[in-house]
Each structure stands twice: as structure tokens, then as C-alpha cells.
Structure 1
């Protein structure tokens, strides 16, 4: 019986203390502060002020973990087979199925090239979406 009474007093204690401080309504001033590293939350300058602190990580100048170590999508990061295919495509100008305005059979490969480009863009979008939705450390 005593433990129940003691528990009731302990639970009601903070509520009574909160009610005592809010006689005049909401606080006059609220400060929101982002803390970096080992910074401490500053105390309120007056009893009418509330200070809200949030931990913002290591440094304001550091790139967040989810954006670090993104894979390079430039030419140097491509596989050799992709590079060879692009060189071959460039050198095929004017040949049949090359989609080129130069040469006698160049126009015959334009629809094929458009389909190939669409398919590659779709694969790239899926790969990029898979990288961005994967959990980061």
C-alpha cells in the first residue's frame, strides 16, 4: 500500500511542478539550437524562455553519412566493355544500322538506337534507386 502511494506521489510531482511554471500561458521566447560535436545546451537567459537543443552530428561542414562515398558515374568508373561499345558506336558512323545522317544506310538504325538508349536509361534509374534506398552506416 505504501509503495502505491509513493508511486502516485512521484508521478504527480513533475506534473505539479510543470503546472506551477505555466500560470501566464506559453513561454515568451523559444530558442531552437543545433549542437555539433561535444557542445552543451546553453541555459535559458530568463524564466520566460525555453531552450530547445538538437544534436546535429559531428560538424556543420561535414557531409552527412548518407551522401558520403557515392559511386562515381563518370567515364572512368565504367566497365571496359561499355567503353568499347561506345567507341565502336562512334566509329560505325555511315554504316548500315548506325543511325547516322552520313552514308547510304545510316538512317536504318535510329529506332534500334532509341530503344537501346531507353533500355539503358531504365537500367541506370533502377540501379540508382537501389543505391539510394539501401541502408547506409
Structure 2
């Protein structure tokens, strides 16, 4: 039993001992590391000497092009909103309490709730179709 335990310990320690021997014979880390971005069909250059490491990565089609994931992004902020939509919002806010407005304020405000829900549903449907058409 003790012999098996000693054998297992020796087998586990062998890789660690081999690693320390390899590290002591090496001169340390490489003297020079080059990182290179490749565009299009460029190939990775060979190291100039054995103490040099060349790391290459593919950066896309051209260094002067905007990456595809950033091209043609529609703006959804306030300045890019159309004036007709801005006026619809103003009219909606100012018409509270009038008939067909779906408001608890004023007389006749409750009559437009169904119409407002249908308009919201239709606008959501149009927005989903527009977003689905923009996905590449």
C-alpha cells in the first residue's frame, strides 16, 4: 500500500520536474514580439530571427472601411424623429379630455380607448416589419 502511494506521488511529480528543467535551460522570454493586423488576402510575415515571435490577426477587408456591423445603422434618437411624428405627439398631448382621446380627464375622454389600442397595435406591427427588413 505504501509502495503504491509512493509510486503515485512520483508519477504526479514527474511532469512538474520536467517543466522546471526546461525552464532553466531556456534563456527566458523571447526578445521581441510583433503584433500585425492583416487586411484582405495579406499573409503573415515570417520572424526575422529565432528570438522573435510574430502574432497576426485578420482585421477585415480594408483598413479604410467601416466594419459591416457599424454600417447603415438607423438613428432612433430625438433629432432624427420626423416632424410629422413630433406633431402627432403634440396633438396627442394637447387633446386630453376631448372626445375619442381615451383619457380619464374631461367629458367624452373614454370613447377613444379602443381606437388608440388598434392604432398602437398597427404601429407596433409596422415597427417590427421595418426592423426585420433591416437585419442583414
TM-score of the aligned structures, taking structure 2 as reference length: 0.53
The counterpart of 1:79, out of the listed 58, 68, 82, is: 82
Out of 128, 131, 134, the position equivalent to 1:131 is 134
Match of 1:68 in 2: 71
Q: Does 1:55 align with 2:79?
A: no
Aligned equivalents of 1:63, 1:108: Cα separation in 2: 51
Give the whole-Å Cα distance in 1 for the aligned partners of 2:77 and 2:102.
25
Larger Rg computed on CA atoms: 2
Correspondence 1:94 to 2:106: no
CA distance in 2, matches of 1:75, 1:94: 27
Answer whether contact 2:97 2:109 (CA < 8 A) is retained. yes
RMSD over aligned Cα, in angstroms?
Answer: 3.2
1:42 offset after TM fit, Å? 7.3
Alignment of 1:108-127 (within 5 A): 108-127=111-130
RCO higher in structure (CA 8 A, sep ≥6):
1
Is there any run of 5+ residues in structure 1 with no aligned partner, and where? 1-33, 44-52
Using the alignment, how far apart are the partners of 2:124 and 2:95 within structure 1?
Answer: 22
